[in-house]
Amino acid sequence: MALQRINILRLSDGDLDFLIETAHPEVVDKVRLKTILREDEDFRNSFISDEKIFRRLIDDEEVFLKISPALFFEILLRKVADDLRGKGFTIEKTGTMKIPVFDTKDVVDFLKRKYLLDYLADMLSSFTRVETYTITFESSRGVWEKIRFNDLDMFSLMSLCDVVEDEHRMGFYKRIADICLFILGIFPDYAEREFRYPFSGQVRPQIRGRARISPEEYEKEGRRFYKLAAEHRSARELELSEIFWTLHEDFEKAKKPLNFIAEHYLRYKRHKLFA
């Protein structure tokens, strides 16, 4: 299934009930309205951009019990696009400096490409939980090894790329790149703080046995692994190549709406929402 269609199909009854009860609780024929929301993409997108929905989203501490994480983040991303239309610049942080960048139109145009907005919403929702896996592989003739890892550990995932069969690598490439984008987008302060002292800007000494990279390296690796994912034959089969190539080329634009969400909507909720 192409990603362009996932967004329309994934709304659950719970999602629709939340949207209707929040935006138009007076509606009598809710069944008919649900059908329209499922079938009319333009109406649906306009409906979920209602300010009342955004406000309830932010104020309700138990919102994830009522709607899917993917819808939650789609609503936030649409709000980013609306808010940035009224701003002349975004802010980039470099060490202790904040630099205005006049790129809001580029970021809004990026989010207008619906398949990209859908991808970012799905990606963010995947980080609300961390899955742990165990795989068994043959390291040499007759010698089998078992590796246990979680899908937020990019360094373990990088190592796994060397041992899994090529046909399975695209999923690992994608996840590694997503981790880089997620960290630089939602937790840029973490990436900076783990690598440099906050006031002096000096690089922290390396702790033995603890892997870490700079924010610049996160971006470099993110671009690299989106490129690897785009080139993989599975990406072509799943109609994901265009998305991965875009994220490889426009990594900075993809990061900006996530920065805006972290700074303006979820600043004090990030650690509660994400595993």
CB 259 within 8 A of CB 185: yes
Q: How many residues does the chain have?
A: 275
CA distance 186 to 190: 9
Express each pLDDT in 193-209 by its tens digit: 888 887 777 888 877 76
CA distance 177 to 250: 13
What is residue 120's predicted lDDT score, i.e. its pLDDT?
Answer: 97
Percent of the chain with pLDDT over 70: 93
Predicted confidence band at 225 (pLDDT cuts at 50, 70, 90)? Answer: very high
CA distance 192 to 172: 25
CB 93 within 8 A of CB 185: no
With 80 as the cut, is the pLDDT of residue 39 above it?
A: yes
* Pairing state between β 143-150 and 90-94: unpaired
| Of the candidates 201, 157, 192, the residue with the CA atom closest to the CA atom of residue 176 | 157
Express each pLDDT in 159-172 by its tens digit: 889 888 899 899 99
Q: What is the mean pLDDT of residues 77-90?
A: 91
SS3 198: coil
CB 145 within 8 A of CB 105: no
Name residue, tokens 């920065």: 259
Range in 5-19, 52-66, 97-111 the model is least confident about: 5-19
Name residue, tokens 């299934």: 1
What is residue 139's predicted lDDT score, i.e. its pLDDT?
Answer: 67
Question: Average per-residue pLDDT in the chain?
Answer: 89
Count of beta carbons in the 10 Å neighbourhood of residue 87: 14
SS3 144: strand
With 50 as the cut, is the pLDDT of residue 8 above it?
A: no
CA distance 2 to 178: 19
What is residue 275's predicted lDDT score, i.e. its pLDDT?
Answer: 67
CA distance 137 to 159: 13
CA distance 212 to 95: 17
What is residue 68's predicted lDDT score, i.e. its pLDDT?
Answer: 94
With 70 as the cut, is the pLDDT of residue 67 above it?
A: yes
* Pairing state between β 132-140 and 97-101: unpaired
Q: What is the mean pLDDT of residues 175-197?
A: 92
With 70 as the cut, is the pLDDT of residue 90 above it?
A: yes
Encoded tokens for 156? 């373990």
Express each pLDDT in 93-135 by its tens digit: 766 677 888 889 999 999 999 899 999 999 999 999 988 887 7
